[in-house]
Amino acid sequence: MKKIALLLLVTLLLTLQTSVLAARRQVEEVPENPMDWSISTSPELSESEKEAARWSLILENDLGIYAYDMSTLGYVADKNGTVDTNLVGATVKTLFTEKKMLKNLQAKYADKLKGKEKVQYCLLDMQYNMPEKTYTVKEMRVFTNKNRIIETKKNKTGFVPVPEKTFAEAMYDICQQFVTEMNAPAEDGQKPSLLSK
């Protein structure tokens, strides 16, 4: 009798365990394509975390925080795709922090702001002529705290000397480091791939 009771108990436990496993499988999300899977020890980044990871700090001063988009740093190519290794370009983000400047910008763009929007940052498409140590801002876009563009300006003045002790000089140094790395022989004897913009 004890053997029968023990056999029934084991059967009941196995049935219960099988039911739990079956229920768990139904809850798990199954990808449409069985080949669409990945293994990772770190959690997936949110959109804001991905956006923050794009930017590398140049410097911070009284006016704001300056960073460049690492994916845009590279030699500049013309409309035909010809790369000019004298010109290095990158997109720079200026996040305004100085209160007086923010107040002035708020007043300047008041007619373009909606509701409680505030002027927050601008993006500068910069190019550096490395041998001449000059630079230009090809285009500037001003954004609100809602990531809405409220002004776009194209520069028509051309290249000017890089001023000392400014974010423009700090960015020039980053571009110089890029050129040095591009001209260094790779360990495997091959040149690194060129970035173009």
61 against 45, higher pLDDT: 61
> Stretch 114-139: mean pLDDT, rounded?
94
Whether the pLDDT of residue 193 is over 70: the answer is no
Whether the pLDDT of residue 196 is over 50: the answer is no
User: Is 22 part of any domain?
Assistant: no
- Return d(Cα 61, Cα 172) in angstroms, integer: 17
> Stretch 68-88: mean pLDDT, rounded?
91
DSSP assignment of 75-131: EEE-TT--EEEEEEEEEEEEEE--HHHHHHHHHHTGGG--TT--EEEEEEEEEEETT
User: Is 16 part of any domain?
Assistant: no
Q: Is 138 helix (H, G, I), strand (E, B) or coil?
A: strand
User: Is 71 part of any domain?
Assistant: yes
> Stretch 102-112: mean pLDDT, rounded?
93
Q: What is the mean pLDDT of the chain?
A: 81
Planar angle of CA 42, 47, 48, nearest 5 degrees: 100
CATH code, domain carrying 71: 2.40.128.710
Domain count, the chain: 1
User: Is 93 part of any domain?
Assistant: yes
User: Is 5 part of any domain?
Assistant: no
- Return d(Cα 148, Cα 114) in angstroms, integer: 10
- Give the strand pairing for 74-77 and 64-69: unpaired
Domain that holds residue 149: 48-183
- The pTM (predicted TM-score) of the whole model is 0.69
User: Is 102 part of any domain?
Assistant: yes
Q: Residue 195: pLDDT band by 50, 70, 90 thresholds? A: very low
Whether the pLDDT of residue 5 is over 80: the answer is no
CB 119 within 8 A of CB 102: yes
Whether the pLDDT of residue 7 is over 90: the answer is no
User: Is 78 part of any domain?
Assistant: yes
Q: What is the pLDDT of residues 154-174, one digit of tens each?
A: 988 899 999 999 999 999 999
Q: State the alpha helices, DSSP H only, in the chain.
A: 2-27, 47-54, 99-108, 167-183
**Which residues touch 40 (CB under 8 Å, ≥6 apart)?**
none
Radius of gyration of the chain (CA): 28
- Return d(Cα 17, Cα 25) in angstroms, integer: 12
pLDDT at 157: 86
